[in-house]
Amino acid sequence: MAKLLLNLRNVPDDEADDVRRFLDSSRIAYYETRPNLWGIPGCIWIRDDGDVAEAKRLMAEYQRERQARARAELAEAERNGTAQTFADVLRTQPVQVALTVIAIALLLGLTAIPVILLWK
Q: Give the integer Cα–Cα distance in Å for 27 and 4.
A: 17
Q: In the predicted model, is pLDDT for residue 120 greater than 80? A: no
Domain ranges of the chain: 1-83, 85-120
Predicted TM-score (pTM) of the model is: 0.69
Read off the pLDDT band of 59 (50, 70, 90): very high
**Euclidean distance between the first and final Cα of the chain, in Å?**
60
Q: How far is CA 29 from the centre of its chain?
A: 24
More confident site: 37 or 101 = 101
Q: Give the integer Cα–Cα distance in Å for 119 and 64.
A: 51
Q: In the predicted model, is pLDDT for residue 35 greater than 90? A: no
The amino acid sitting at 59 is: M
Read off the pLDDT band of 117 (50, 70, 90): confident
**Residue-level pLDDT at 87:** 92
- From edge to edge, which strands make up the β-sheet containing 30-33? 3-7, 43-46, 30-33
Read off the pLDDT band of 39 (50, 70, 90): confident
Read off the pLDDT band of 91 (50, 70, 90): very high
CA torsion sign for 94, 99, 102, 104 is negative
